[in-house]
Amino acid sequence: MSTMDLDTDSRIRRILEEHARLGRDVNTIADGDSLYDSGLSSHASVSVMLAIEDTFDIEFPDNMLNRRVFESIASIREAVDELLT
């Protein structure tokens, strides 16, 4: 993994720490773990979405404003990568 990739992942994790209001420490959550199972509510997922857009200067199209995209750190990472290219 390049330093840019690490940067994206760590930025996503920082956003989750700040906005996701999870019941557990983000460091204990693996990339593929369900964020919903870790306590991510739909309102908090909206805050996460807005923070991701702000941080990465991207805009999620309507078809990506759904539950699946914000399911895990890996799925968020995939979405961000897609929108950055």
Partner 1 sequence: MSSRSRRQLFDQLVEHGHFIPTGVAGLYGRGADFEDGVERVGQMIDRPSDRDGAERVHFPPIMSRPVLEQTGYMGNMPHLGGCVHSFAGDEARHRELLARIERGEDWSNFLEKTDVALTPAACYPIYPMCAADNDGRLHLGGRTIDLLAWIFRNEPSDDPARLQAFRQREMVRLGTPDEVLSWRATWMERGLALLTELGLEVEARVANDPFFGRTGRMLKANQRDQELKFEIQTPICSETEPTAITSFNYHESHFGETFGIRTSNGEVAHTACLGFGMERIMLALLRKHGMHVHNWPDDIRHALGYDR
The least CB distance from residue 2 to partner 1, in Å, is 30
Cα–Cα distances in Å, from 12 out to 8, 15, 28, 43, 65?
A: 6, 5, 14, 17, 17
The least CB distance from residue 65 to partner 1, in Å, is 4
Identify which of residues 6 and 46 has a Cβ nearer to partner 1 in the complex.
46
Nearest one of 21, 4, 11 to 54, comparing CA atoms: 11
Q: Does 2 bind partner 1 (CB under 8 A)?
A: no
Are 22 and 40 in contact by the 8 Å Cβ rule? The answer is yes
Are 21 and 65 in contact by the 8 Å Cβ rule? The answer is no
Contact characters 18-47, partner 1, x per CB under 8 A: -----------------------xxx-xx-
Q: Interface with partner 1 by CB under 8 A: which residues?
A: 41-43, 45-46, 49-50, 62, 65-67
